[in-house]
């Protein structure tokens, strides 16, 4: 039975199919993780819910009303602040 070519062939097909399925799922997980990683975490930019020296998220060029940011993970407060603060050009 160990030398049966049909069993060997079936095993290869099953292993290949499972490998392709796992690889496909892995790609989807990595793609989803990359989408999340497009924005910086609150801790990385030292985000806080309070302003700092008059600077607030609402006054930053990266702010997207009502509570989002183009580079920081949402939600954020318009009254918050982080290291990525960039005032608009005057």
Q: What is the pLDDT of residue 34?
A: 47
Mean of pLDDT values over 54-66:
97
Buried-state track 58-86, b at ≥16 Cβ within 10 A, e below 16: bbbeebeeeebbeebbeebbeebbbebbe
* Whether 58 and 81 share a structural domain: yes
Q: Is residue 48 within 8 Å of residue 84, measured between CB atoms? A: no
Check which CATH number belongs to the domain holding 56 and give it: 4.10.490.10
* Whether 32 and 50 share a structural domain: no
Per-residue pLDDT of 21-59, as tens digits, reads 455 555 555 555 444 558 899 999 999 999 999 999 999
* Whether 44 and 81 share a structural domain: yes
Cβ burial of 39 (10 Å; 0-12, 13-18, 19+) is middle
pLDDT at residue 13 greater than cutoff 90: no
Q: Global pTM? A: 0.58
pLDDT at residue 90 greater than cutoff 90: no
* Whether 46 and 75 share a structural domain: yes
Q: Between 15 and 48, whose confidence is greater?
A: 48
Question: 56 is in which domain, residue-wise?
Answer: 39-90
């Amino acid at each position: 039975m160990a030398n049966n070519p049909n069993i060997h062939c079936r095993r290869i097909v099953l292993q290949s199919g499972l490998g392709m399925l796992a690889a496909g799922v892995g790609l989807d997980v990595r793609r989803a993780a990359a989408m999340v990683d497009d924005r910086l975490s609150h801790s990385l930019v030292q985000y806080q819910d309070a302003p700092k020296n008059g600077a607030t998220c609402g006054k930053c060029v990266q702010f997207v009303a009502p509570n989002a940011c183009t580079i920081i993970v949402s939600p954020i407060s318009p009254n918050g602040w982080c290291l990525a603060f960039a005032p608009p050009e005057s």
